[in-house]
Amino acid sequence: MRVLTPSGLDHALALLAEFESSLTPLAGGTDLLVSWPHQNSDEVGFLDLSPLRAEHSAPRLEQDALVLSMLTTYWDVIASEEVRTEFPLLLAAALKVGAVQIQSAGTWAGNIANGSPAADGVPVLMAYGAEVVLRSTRGEVRVPLDRYYLGYKQSVRALDQLIVEIRVPRRKREIEWFHKVGARFAQAISKLGVAVTRDETGHRVVVNSVAPTVVRCRALEDHLDQGGKIESVEQVRALLSFDIAPIDDIRSTSRYRESVLSRLLYFYLRKANLRKANG
């Protein structure tokens, strides 16, 4: 086993460039270190990001975006009054991730990079139109989060790149909603989760645990953007079917996921529409 300890971000990127295929960035460790005694071996190599914590943890509000840093944790968002007030879905999702011990250690970047289809941080960030900032010694690129994933646990991130920031645009939103369905309120991996927003760019409907990656439900979004009405659960289910492909696994079944998701969205969107009609 090997653990490399960088002295700063540039050093971290240089180490990744040099040893890319044999080094795994280690942030909060809440995915990587589960059952560690059973997985540690001579082959493991970590790039320990903890020395960068002091400089790369605090979220900050810029003129046009909220910037979550490389090591911003869920608790950093929960504890920041200005962030949780302006981005209530980030708060809602953070409070649903594990419990306080996981929220203190787990990072938003780690949640994105880990690439689980059940990630709870990803739907809300995607619904807010977040961009992922990837940096390596070769330079920096910004990728919209909804174009970050290529397939199950696959992404556009090259092995020498770190997620150095997540930029969440500051937009006026007319509606925003997040709902997670788990076996209990806390400390449970999603059976499914859904985030919905509407701002000047249109609707975003983002779901987890019903496809190989967290996905946008584009057909439903288009329907809503064109002013289409929400008429029945069946209609929502049909629109969802273009974008989701739920499976049976230990946490739930494909049928449960499909019906609960269509119903949740039906009732939420009906309510949101009524509010619009009345307001």
Partner 1 sequence: MSHFDLTLELNGKKVTRKIPLRSRLLDALRYDFGLTGTKEGCGEGECGACTVLLSGRPVNSCLVLARQAEGCKVETVESTSTETLRRLNATGTSQCGACTPGIVMTARWLCDNPQTLDLMSLREFMSGNLCRCTGYDGVLSGIECLLDQEEGES
Ligand X SMILES: Cc1cc2nc3c(=O)[nH]c(=O)nc-3n(C[C@H](O)[C@H](O)[C@H](O)COP(=O)(O)OP(=O)(O)OC[C@H]3O[C@@H](n4cnc5c(N)ncnc54)[C@H](O)[C@@H]3O)c2cc1C
* Binding residue for ligand X, selected from 6, 117, 121, 129, defined by CB under 6 A: 121
Q: Give all strands of the β-sheet with 162-169 in edge-to-edge order.
A: 60-61, 65-69, 162-169, 131-136, 139-144
Q: Which amino acid is at 260?
A: V
Q: Is 117 in the site for ligand X (CB under 6 A)?
A: no
Give the strand pairing for 24-26 and 45-48.
parallel
Q: Is 48 in the site for partner 1 (CB under 8 A)?
A: yes
With contacts defined by CB under 6 A, name the span among 119-127, 144-152, 220-228, 257-265 that binds ligand X: 119-127
Closest CB to partner 1 among residues 159, 188: 188
Least Å distance, CB 63 to ligand X, is: 24
For residues 84 and 77, is the Cβ–Cβ distance under 8 A? yes
Least Å distance, CB 220 to partner 1, is: 31
Q: In the range 135-194, which residues lie near partner 1 by CB under 8 A?
A: 184-187
CB hemisphere CA count around 218 (13 angstroms): 4
Closest CB to partner 1 among residues 75, 256: 75
Q: In the range 146-165, which residues lie near ligand X by CB under 6 A?
A: 162-163
Return the H-helix or E-strand segment holding 126.
Answer: helix 121-127
Give the strand pairing for 131-136 and 139-144.
antiparallel
Q: Is 98 in the site for partner 1 (CB under 8 A)?
A: yes
Least Å distance, CB 37 to partner 1, is: 7
Alpha helices by DSSP H, listed for 130-185, are none
For residues 70 and 109, is the Cβ–Cβ distance under 8 A? yes
* Binding residue for ligand X, selected from 6, 31, 77, 216, defined by CB under 6 A: 31
Q: In the range 84-113, which residues lie near ligand X by CB under 6 A?
A: 97-98, 102, 105-107, 109-111, 113
